[in-house]
Amino acid sequence: MVTPRRRLPALSVLLVGVVLVVGCAPKLAPAPSGGSSGTVSLMGPSALSAAQLSAWFNGRSPQPGGVYGATVGVATLTQYYVEEGAAEGVAGDVAFVQGILETGWYRFGGSVPGWMNNFAGIGATATNPAPAAFPDARTGVRAQIQHLRAYGDPGASVCAVPPLHNPCVDPRFALVVPKGKVPTWNQMGNGNWATSTTYASSILRLYNEARAFNGLSPA
């Protein structure tokens, strides 16, 4: 004789289901810190393409004063940033925006002229400045990207292949100690790359402007 199974009351079944769902639900990660811009990793792929960066740079309003002074056009320069960033796993689109801040929209009104192909102020320190000069724009971008990788990647132990994808051209790679000490763009400034307390927020504000121009939400 088969004893029939007892059916649980409908309310009991519902309560059991709720308990199971709640018990299996994944824990939600806390919202990222860093203000309205969120937390933006220094390492990672470019969200914006070279064409999107160029479109924003040329199409934003108002345009900055002065004359564009890089040794290559902006379309070529943005392509270098995206390609070199992808090679080393660095966010090349944000690095291009960093170059905007460092060079005054690539107008080079400061102590580093455009012919040096130094888009990140490498060596242009407050004490005993000795700005680096590079033979061409791609090499200058590569040096910046390699220097950023030293800041963002603890595995970038030496400026050589490997761990780098391309031969070392960054003259100050060894000075970043320890490697990987700044994993996010939000931590830039305050002695990391620059002394300014608004360095990171200035980069991320412009980066989010470029994203908005191209229909992307803030980073």
Can you state the angle between helices 74-88 and 50-59, rounded to 10 degrees?
A: 140
CA distance 69 to 46: 24
Q: What pLDDT does 37 receive?
A: 44
Q: Angle at CA 204, nearest 5°, toward 198 and 208?
A: 145
CA distance 170 to 48: 25
Q: What pLDDT does 129 receive?
A: 81
Q: What pLDDT does 111 receive?
A: 86
For residue 17 the two structure tokens come to 């289901």
Q: pLDDT tens for residues 32-78? A: 333 344 899 999 999 999 999 999 999 999 999 999 999 999 999 99
Phi/psi of residue 66, nearest 5 degrees: 90, 180
CA distance 71 to 92: 19
CA distance 132 to 119: 10
Provide the H-helix boundaries in the chain. 10-24, 50-59, 74-88, 92-103, 137-152, 199-213
Residues 94, 199 contacting (CB under 8 angstroms): no
Q: pLDDT tens for residues 114-168? A: 999 999 999 988 777 899 999 999 999 999 999 999 999 999 999 999 999 999 9
